[in-house]
Amino acid sequence: KQEVTQIPAALSVPEGENLVLNCSFTDSAIYNLQWFRQDPGKGLTSLLLIQSSQREQTSGRLNASLDKSSGRSTLYIAASQPGDSATYLCAATGNTPLVFGKGTRLSVIA
Amino acid sequence: NAGVTQTPKFRILKIGQSMTLQCTQDMNHNYMYWYRQDPGMGLKLIYYSVGAGITDKGEVPNGYNVSRSTTEDFPLRLELAAPSQTSVYFCASSQRSSGQGADTQYFGPGTRLTVL
């Protein structure tokens, strides 16, 4: 059974810092891994999707990497801004639909 | 193009009551999903559907039922509501091509349900 873990559970950084959010998964037989953003009281917005054959994906200040052999993915946020404050969730798709981690709650302090 | 819409946004039920959460998508996606999210937790899959007429259980299906008569709609039925079903419910859809393919999931805004 796939299990997805995100560390840390919460993170607070000053504005302008570069930061890394971590995601690990137990079953490396995945089709893809997605990173989502969730604002308080809102639904989820897909940020990046990495196919199992890819190593990374980039969108603006965001870069996500995938290492299937070690069961890890990272989300790198460059030059963080207060508007980046949200909960970030990763989710892995394999033989079963998305399995989510519990998320990392990010606060960027101005 | 509205994406994924859910109704209602909020609902309070008494124990034992029943209700249907509505979900509609206008992207012609084959795959649709229902998740629940409890405070401080990730999302857990309740049911999913790979196309009209086909549904399958997820991780936490007990106490729920679904149907998929059209590509657009995927309602979730709660029978005999219990306090343990107090949660935020999200519907999502995706288009999966053959093989691995693109599988970005698009989420609705959620339904906040309280059972008292």
Q: What is the mean pLDDT of chain A?
A: 93
Interface test with B, best of A36, A98, A100 (most B CBs within 10 A): A98
- Degrees, nearest 5: CA angle B66-B83-B56: 20
pLDDT higher than threshold 50 for residue A66: yes
The confidence band for A42, taking pLDDT boundaries of 50, 70 and 90, is: confident
Q: In whole angstroms, what is the distance from residue B60 CA to residue B100 CA? A: 25
B60 and A CB contact within 8 Å: no
More confident residue, A106 or A30: A106
- With contacts defined as CB-CB under 8 Å, which chain A residues touch B105? 34, 44, 46, 91, 98
| Long-range contacts at B58-65 (CB < 8 A, ≥ 24 apart) | B58/A96, B58/A97, B58/B33, B58/B34, B60/B36, B64/B34
Q: Which residues contact A77 (CB under 8 A, 6 or more apart)?
A: A18, A19, A20, A21, A61, A62, A84, A106
- Degrees, nearest 5: CA angle B64-B70-B71: 100
B39 and A CB contact within 8 Å: no
Chain A contact residues (CB < 8 Å to B): 4, 31-32, 34, 36, 42-46, 49, 51-53, 89, 91, 93, 96-103
Q: Contact B88/B8 with Cβ under 8 angstroms?
A: no
CB contact under 8 A, B107 and A44: yes
Q: Please give the backbone phi and psi of residue A34, each rounded to the nearest 5 degrees, phi first.
A: -120, 145
Measure A79 CA to nearest chain B CA, in Å: 26
Give tens-digit pLDDT for B77-105.
998 999 999 999 999 998 875 445 457 88
- With contacts defined as CB-CB under 8 Å, which chain B residues touch A24? none
The residue ranges of chain B whose pLDDT is under 50 are: 98-99, 101
More confident residue, A14 or A51: A14
| pLDDT computed for residue B102 by the predictor | 58
Q: Mapping DSSP to helix (H, G, I), strand (E, B) and coil, where does residue A16 land?
A: coil
Q: In whole angstroms, what is the distance from residue A60 CA to residue A100 CA? A: 24
Q: In whole angstroms, what is the distance from residue B68 CA to residue B49 CA? A: 7
Q: In whole angstroms, what is the distance from residue B2 CA to residue B4 CA? A: 6
| pLDDT computed for residue B103 by the predictor | 75
pLDDT higher than threshold 90 for residue A108: yes
| pLDDT computed for residue B41 by the predictor | 80
Residue type (1 letter), A92: A
B85 and A CB contact within 8 Å: no
| pLDDT computed for residue B97 by the predictor | 52
